[in-house]
Structure 1
Amino acid sequence: MPTRPGFSSNYWLLYAGRPATSTGRTETVTERSDTATALMGRVPGSIVAGAVLVRRRRGPGFSRRRTLMPHVPARAANGDVELAYERYNSRRGEPLLLIMGFSVQRHFWPAGLCDELERNGFDVLRFDNRDCGQSTHLDWLPVPPLGLLLGAPKLVAPYRLSDMAADTVAVLDAAGWERATVMGVSMGGMIAQTMAIRYPHRVKSLVSISSTPAPHIGQPTLRARRVLTLRPGRTAEEVADRLVWQSRIIGSPRYPIDEPWLRDYAHSAFARGHNPDGGRRQLGAVLASGSRLRALRSVESPTLVVHGADDPLIRPVGGRATARAVRNARLVVHRGMGHDLPAALWPEIARDVAALADRAG
């Protein structure tokens, strides 16, 4: 069955969320059931079947129920690039567009954080950047050699952050949103900054997390630099192993990583649309786009900058430089936070984003 360029014809499991661990909460994990396996090969290529095992803690044991949940992401288009996106749950509330970082899919936004954002009054939308997940894989473009990418990125990068910002505007258009609070993490924060510069009328307020206004500001430690140059995994298990390894290097020293969640994500992301070459092209966009310091001075959208005090991949000076560049930006630095989104900080982050949206009016 033919498929659109860049879209996998595989089937994948619906990733439902970060496992809960405390008593009395609902625990949701991905699991391929016999029923889901039987459906493989019988469902049209444009339909995705996912099996979700929901376990509720009831007294000393668990009661279990399996539910097949069809999941077809919506599509936005920017020229030849299609972007897979989804409204999280509620379709009511303040529009909030989430932009994920380098080489990871929309489901890397933890479900628990999305829940917190919804509870604070947001209508949450997540999407896959170009060259990632279920969005178009630009396989017709060259893969920049790493040496040239690091030495002369503008000569070899096939696209820029401005192109990815235009993709994001296309998602807003497809969702029917004239304006939104735009929240990006890492590379997603760079895309969000670029949106606020180039499309100020579409950005009601800006949230930049674990990001930087220029590639030369907040450069990674020598140990963290290896994360950017690590050879991609070839199997789902290799991808999971690498994700756990890099999380131990760049994650939050105060908060333990959730290895089962990371492995669940890696396996489901591999099935949804593994694209190792896309990561190299995205890195080219970051490096070739240069500094936004001067342009950020023109941003008038209320802005929140969040950074980890112990981030080794984009060091805290990146967040401070972003906050200094944007007039009246609020800077929040979390001690013990690295280059990730620890669960213990989700309620505070969600409240800070809600306060920002209130300020934007």
Structure 2
Amino acid sequence: MARSRANGIEIEYELSGPEGGPVLMLIHGVGAQLIRWPPALIERFERAGFRTLRFDNRDVGLSSHLNHLGIPDIAAIVAARAAGGEPELPYSLSDMAADTAGLLDALGIAQAHVLGVSLGGMVGQVLAIEHRARVRSLNLFMTQSGNPDLPPSDPGALAILSKRAPDPQEDREAFLSHQAALNRALGSPDYPAPESELRAFAALAADRAYNPAGPARQLAAARGAPDRRPQLRALSVPALVVHGRNDPLFPPECGTDLARSIPGSWLLEPGGMGHDLPAELIDLFVETVRANCARA
């Protein structure tokens, strides 16, 4: 792994795969470090010829933590946006998209295929809207357009997502149990990950970096963002939308709405898939993304 300065912050990143291969920039979701990407997925993309670029978003992992910006009031931000106002945010999706463009600049990469998951899919959309020349194709997984009329998240999943996690330095066992339960609630019902795997990854992530206020600020950027559909309709980039039919955080309507908003986009809706990247679907993901990138 390496570090670069971009858009005024430090970004921890990893660039690997065949020299000269097309770059696939991977942007993950709220609180997810770059180690969250399944190694098998990275390996398959690189075997397919891609040079993969993954990184810690601002405020998580080993990238800059912006704790001086404080902890946002998510309820107030949501209320302000619902009322048609412009909520005060620690930073915006535009700032996060500028991070990604700045990282490409720092690495001397003119263009990249973009794969964004959840919050990362929102950042990818804004990157394509505001930095169009940098994006060769868009691959948007389990995300949404900012449409305020989309159906809400499953209440049970939202409840556990909103629950404050125990501090792993104070009660490691409680933290691991919480993280396993959270991932189980959001995950794919037809492809459940083993409990031991969920706990082992939670321990690995906590030991690498722990900054609970960072995901709150990332969530504020997502929840405080405006409707992107008018700008998405003006895009002319090959786009793929992948959305599980059993996603409890972003219901399936979010995927169909997003695909409808981007001209010429493809929509893939795997049955039994929730808000994660199950190992059983990796080959499907890679082949579909590769086909979309070939349209560029």
Which TM bucket (shorter chain)?
over 0.9
Partner of 1:307: 243
Q: Against the structure 1 CA distance between its residues 215 and 328, is the aligned structure 2 distance closer, same or farther, given a 3 Å change threshold? A: closer
* 2:164 partner letter: R
Query: 1:154-213: CA deviations, max 9, x gaps?
Result: 434211101000001111112221001000000000000111111110000000000000
Moved more, 317-326 or 218-227: 218-227
Partner of 2:101: 169
Distance in 2 between residues matched to 1:115 and 1:339, nearest whole Å:
21
Query: 1:306-348: CA deviations, max 9, x gaps?
Result: 0000001011111111100000000000000000011111011
1:280 aligns to 2:216 (yes or no): yes
Distance in 1 between residues matched to 2:141 and 2:215, nearest whole Å:
20
* 1:231 partner letter: R
Q: Against the structure 1 CA distance between its residues 239 and 299, is the aligned structure 2 distance closer, same or farther, given a 3 Å change threshold? A: farther
Partner of 1:133: 61
1:200 aligns to 2:103 (yes or no): no
Structure 1 vs Structure 2: percent identity of aligned residues?
A: 40
Q: Which of the two has greater strand per residue?
A: 1
Distance in 1 between residues matched to 2:173 and 2:79, nearest whole Å:
32
Partner of 1:60: none
* 1:204 partner letter: R
- Structure 2: segments with no counterpart, 5+ residues: none
Tell me, yes or no, if the aligned pair for 1:212 and 1:218 is still in contact at 8 Å. Answer: no
Query: What is the TM-score with the length of structure 2 in the denominator?
Result: 0.93
Q: Against the structure 1 CA distance between its residues 242 and 89, is the aligned structure 2 distance closer, same or farther, given a 3 Å change threshold? A: farther
Distance in 2 between residues matched to 1:218 and 1:197, nearest whole Å:
24
Q: Against the structure 1 CA distance between its residues 92 and 242, is the aligned structure 2 distance closer, same or farther, given a 3 Å change threshold? A: farther
* 2:6 partner letter: A
Q: Return the offset for 1:149.
A: 3.5
Distance in 1 between residues matched to 2:240 and 2:75, nearest whole Å:
35
- Structure 1: segments with no counterpart, 5+ residues: 1-71
Q: Against the structure 1 CA distance between its residues 73 and 264, is the aligned structure 2 distance closer, same or farther, given a 3 Å change threshold? A: farther
Distance in 2 between residues matched to 1:134 and 1:218, nearest whole Å:
34
Q: Against the structure 1 CA distance between its residues 90 and 311, is the aligned structure 2 distance closer, same or farther, given a 3 Å change threshold? A: same
Pairwise mapping of residues 1-361 of structure 1 onto structure 2 (< 5 A)?
Answer: 72-79=1-8, 81-152=9-80, 154-214=86-146, 216=148, 217-235=150-168, 236-360=172-296
- SS of the aligned residue for 1:151 comes to helix
Q: How many equivalent pairs are there? A: 288
Q: Against the structure 1 CA distance between its residues 227 and 99, is the aligned structure 2 distance closer, same or farther, given a 3 Å change threshold? A: farther
Q: CA RMSD in A?
A: 1.5
Q: Return the offset for 1:243.
A: 1.9
Q: Against the structure 1 CA distance between its residues 103 and 320, is the aligned structure 2 distance closer, same or farther, given a 3 Å change threshold? A: same
Tell me, yes or no, if the aligned pair for 1:137 and 1:275 is still in contact at 8 Å. Answer: yes
Query: 1:117-141: CA deviations, max 9, x gaps?
Result: 1121110111011110001000110
Distance in 1 between residues matched to 2:187 and 2:72, nearest whole Å:
28
Q: Which of the two has greater helix per residue?
A: 2
Identify which of structures 1 and 2 has the higher relative contact order when contacts are C-alpha pairs closer than 8 Å and 6+ apart. 2
Q: Return the offset for 1:218.
A: 4.3
Q: Which of these two proteins has the greater Rg computed from alpha carbons? A: 1
Distance in 1 between residues matched to 2:232 and 2:33, nearest whole Å:
27
Partner of 1:53: none
